[in-house]
């Protein structure tokens, strides 16, 4: 039986962060959480490539471009989609999620889904460094594990 090792060593790992500017009061905190957590694993700021996009729906395209650039070993996609009065929320959430999943499944590097989909701003703030933790930091944890796992396959 071969058991692949469980490693969170980020030394030499190159990470892309693609962050939506829509609801930046939330996404800035997600980005801070991701960067701080990556630094705890030894990822140097010089090995982080950060790209800002207008909104969550633009995340899949830029994530795909970055994934195919050869410049990163994995990507964290960050956003905050907060329900409004119309069905627009549903389309933004579903198309962003499916687009990012497609890039991760069919592209060369793993992509972590760090897009909050909430009914209220308070719910989003809570999950961007509040009582609900920080989804950006959580994505950093998972990305380092995925990169190290895929190196063993």
Ligand X SMILES: Nc1c(NC[C@H](O)[C@H](O)[C@H](O)CO)[nH]c(=O)[nH]c1=O
Binding residues for 5-amino-6-(D-ribitylamino)uracil: 22, 56-58, 80-82, 113
Q: Which residue is nearest to ligand LTPLIIQW (CB)?
A: 84
Q: Say whether 88 is catalytic.
A: yes
Residue 86 binds what, of ligand LTPLIIQW, ligand X, none (CB under 5 to 8 Å, by partner type)? ligand LTPLIIQW
85 binds, among ligand LTPLIIQW, ligand X, none (CB under 5 to 8 A by kind): ligand LTPLIIQW
The set of long-range contacts for 95-103, using a CB threshold of 8 Å and a minimum separation of 24, is 95/57, 95/60, 96/56, 96/57, 96/59, 96/60, 99/57, 99/59, 99/60, 99/61, 100/59, 100/60, 100/63, 102/60, 103/60, 103/63, 103/64, 103/67, 103/75
Should residue 24 be labelled a site residue for ligand LTPLIIQW when binding is judged by CB under 6 A? no
Pairing mode of beta strands 74-82, 111-118 = parallel
User: Minimal distance in Å, beta carbon 19 to ligand LTPLIIQW?
Assistant: 16
Q: How far lies 53's CA from each of 1, 48, 98, in Å?
A: 44, 16, 17
| Interacting residues toward ligand LTPLIIQW by CB under 6 A | 81-82, 84-86, 88-89, 92
| Interacting residues toward ligand X by CB under 6 A | 20, 22-23, 54-58, 79-82, 92
């Amino acid at each position: 039986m071969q058991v692949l090792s469980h490693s969170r060593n980020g030394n030499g790992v190159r990470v892309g962060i693609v962050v939506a500017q829509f609801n930046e009061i939330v996404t800035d905190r997600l980005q801070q959480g991701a960067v701080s957590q990556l630094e705890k694993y030894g990822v140097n700021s010089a090995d982080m490539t950060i790209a800002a996009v207008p909104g969550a729906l633009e995340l899949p395209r830029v994530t795909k471009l970055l994934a195919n650039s050869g410049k990163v070993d994995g990507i964290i996609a960050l956003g905050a989609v907060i329900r409004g009065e119309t069905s627009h929320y549903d389309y933004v959430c579903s198309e962003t999620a499916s687009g990012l999943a497609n890039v991760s499944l069919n592209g060369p590097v793993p992509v972590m889904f760090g897009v909050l989909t909430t009914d209220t701003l308070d719910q989003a703030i809570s999950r961007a460094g509040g009582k609900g933790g920080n989804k950006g930091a959580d994505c950093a944890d998972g990305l380092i594990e995925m990169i190290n796992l895929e190196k063993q396959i």
